[in-house]
Chain A
């Protein structure tokens, strides 16, 4: 299996622009998680889906952030409009409902908003 795939790996954009991050979970996994990681705050859960349905979006910082999962193999995290404080590494992770529910992470998207 290729693991969790994220694109782009790096994104540099100007304040006010729309940013779309993409994720393909591991085939067969039914949970998908979006995280943001910064030095100050560590790894923060933004939102997670179960069987393509959003379960908990309490970590989404504000209305500028939105996430969708139109099918089992694809999810997007969108920031519109972007701000410099959104600069961080964004990770997608997936897991299977059985067992410990251990999560497998993608390589991340490093976002810089200038």
Chain B
């Protein structure tokens, strides 16, 4: 079993839809959870991060972490064609000097105008 599983999609939605992107993980030591957006032929760009369980909102984006289920989500409200990209989840343990991130393989999202 991989440490982080992410459905690769592709996911295609109409403009204005609510998008839900998800990752599951197996390592209960993960405490920091991040979402990256990667446009075609660009480097991953950090969208947001959360610590432990709970929700975090930033504009149209909401990140949720459910540690009991080992499940994280990213919701995009009022999706726009400019949101079309690959979304990668990433996570790491806390404490010590372990700053290594474990990434999902990414979900390709297309928002159609």
Contacts and interface: CB of A to CB of B under 8 A. Distances in A.
B92 interface: yes
Interface stretch (B20-28, B45-53, B76-84): B45-53
Interface string B81-99: 0000000101010000101
Interface residues of A, number: 24
Interface residues of B, number: 22
A43 B97 contact: no
B102 to A, nearest CB: 8
Contact of A43 (B34, B51, B103): B103
B6 to A, nearest CB: 9
B43 A107 contact: yes
A105 B46 CA distance: 8
B105 interface: yes
Given A101-B32, A102-B34, A108-B43, 10 more contacts: A33-B101, A42-B105, A91-B44, A97-B97, A104-B46, A105-B44, A106-B43, A107-B42, A107-B43, A108-B42
